[in-house]
Amino acid sequence: MRSSQFFMPTMKETPAEAQIVSHRLMLRAGMIKQASAGIYSWLPLGFKVLKKIEQIVREEQDAIGCQEVLMPTIQPADLWRESGRYEDYGKEMLRITDRHEREMLYGPTNEEMITDIFRTHVKSYRELPKLLYHIQWKFRDEVRPRFGVMRGREFLMKDAYSFDLDFAGAKRAYNKMFVSYLRTYARMGLKAIPMAADSGPIGGDLSHEFIILAKTGESAVYCHRDLVEFDMLKTEIDHEGDLQPIVDRWTSLYAATDEKHDAATFEKIPADKRVNERGIEVGHIFYFGTKYSAPMKAQVGGQTGDPVTLHMGSYGIGVSRLVGAVIEASHDEAGIIWPESVAPFRIGLVNLKVGDAACDAVASDLYARCLAAKVEVLYDDRDDRPGPKLADMDLIGLPWQIVVGPRGVKSGVVEIKNRKTGEKVELAPEQAFNKLTARA
């Protein structure tokens, strides 16, 4: 993509309304535009990151045999009356009346709808277990939408649902999700710690929140320092095997959110291992047994022929919130530092002197090579001063920069810069290209 054609309205000034760094940087980098409180349009740069995050989530759901569906955003109120949540949900639910005076709502979550799908089509224990998910926009009329996409009113969520015959089956599903979540966040360069949590309006008695530590997090969290050191991508996983030992490893050390915090237990941890920080909730998983299946009569014929009420769980990931969360975890004074796995482009190619025949030739050759090799590249071919161009590149945080300038070109080199480490090296264009594309 050429910067001269790309729609990326970056800003020099810090927008006054943004209180936290991710919100400021997302606005400054031209990733989002607020439509109204807590509701955002995603502009090309932001949308690319959103899609990358969504894809990692999808791959890790698919890897545990969870099947993707797509349910609507608008739901009939009657389904929610069956579970009893229509009244309970209160003002957070956006209620809509259609032209026939039928009561509808913009879904804040989908337990009722998926339970309805399941009870319609699944009649026998032989069809269990099943895991289904979708990635769909939700609406919750939060009292105080804030921090940009971190606490929006409209936000993108991956929500998965498990259906089993009994608790043992449901626990297996829960463990699969637990492990898949750890891999999902690790692939985005995040350290997410599962913490005992309250189940809130979703209900149930077994629940973990996945929290990343960040000073700007909304909740206070407490955990054992060793959890921060665990590396999930190094753990071999057989999704069909017994995952309990992995879950036990993560849950045997103390980790709790504010609501579940037990000061006495926390005090027993050696002082240098106590972490008391703030955290961002990037996922939440629940086992809630028959909370929805019982009132909604979601049953299957069991082995003896008697009807069995399904044991269910639900598993959410805040896909749009993760865009902000990754930035909270990875930025510096100059801007965003994208982990490679979610970066909107891998390489930012900067031509410092557009119009200079030698610079243009080297830069456009590198650009053509990247395109041919299918390496995602943003080519800054704008006729502007070097300072603002380099500042924009740092701001949008692509993992690698290739800087083509008149002085270097004269001596046959370009500069590559690693955005994260700041390390710069000068190489011949050919070598620079090979170095940055070898692993892509």
From 25, 41, 67, select the one nearest 137 (Cα to Cα).
41
Residue 7 one-letter amino acid: F
What are residue 234's phi and psi, to 5 degrees?
Answer: -90, -10
CB of 244 to ligand 5CA, least distance (A): 22
CA dist 309 and 306 (Å) reads: 10
Position among 151, 171, 331, 417 found at the interface with ligand 5CA (CB under 6 A): 151
Nearest-CB residue for ligand 5CA: 318
Contacts with 39 (C-beta within 8 Å, 6 or more apart), sequence order: 152, 153, 154
**18 touches 148 (CB < 8 A):** yes
**Nearest to ligand 5CA of 317, 432 (CB atom):** 317
CB of 50 to ligand 5CA, least distance (A): 12
CB of 157 to ligand 5CA, least distance (A): 5
Collapsed DSSP state (helix, strand, coil) of residue 367: helix
CB of 181 to ligand 5CA, least distance (A): 10
CA dist 178 and 170 (Å) reads: 12
DSSP bridge partners of 138: 155
Tokens of 414: 């370009």
Here's the x/- map for ligand 5CA, 265-304, by CB under 6 A: it reads as ----------------xxxx--------------------
Residues 309-368 interacting with ligand 5CA (rule: CB under 6 A) = 314-316, 318, 320-321
User: Between β-strands 74-76 and 331-332, what pairing exists: parallel, antiparallel or unpaired?
Assistant: unpaired
Judged by CB under 6 A, which stretch of 121-129, 151-159, 337-345, 372-380 contacts ligand 5CA?
A: 151-159
From 291, 290, 309, select the one nearest 300 (Cα to Cα).
309
The footprint of ligand 5CA on this chain (CB under 6 A) covers a number of residues equal to 20
The answer to whether residue 155 forms part of the interface with ligand 5CA (CB under 6 A) is: yes
Q: What angle do CA 371, 374, 379 make, to 5 degrees?
A: 40
**Nearest to ligand 5CA of 203, 408 (CB atom):** 203
Residues 224-263 interacting with ligand 5CA (rule: CB under 6 A) = none
**48 touches 32 (CB < 8 A):** no
Place of tokens 């990635």: 135
The answer to whether residue 399 forms part of the interface with ligand 5CA (CB under 6 A) is: no
Here's the x/- map for ligand 5CA, 188-217, by CB under 6 A: it reads as --------------x---------------
CA dist 326 and 323 (Å) reads: 5
**Nearest to ligand 5CA of 86, 155 (CB atom):** 155
The answer to whether residue 115 forms part of the interface with ligand 5CA (CB under 6 A) is: no
Residues in contact with ligand 5CA by the rule CB under 6 A: 109, 111, 140, 142, 151-152, 155, 157, 159, 202, 281-284, 314-316, 318, 320-321
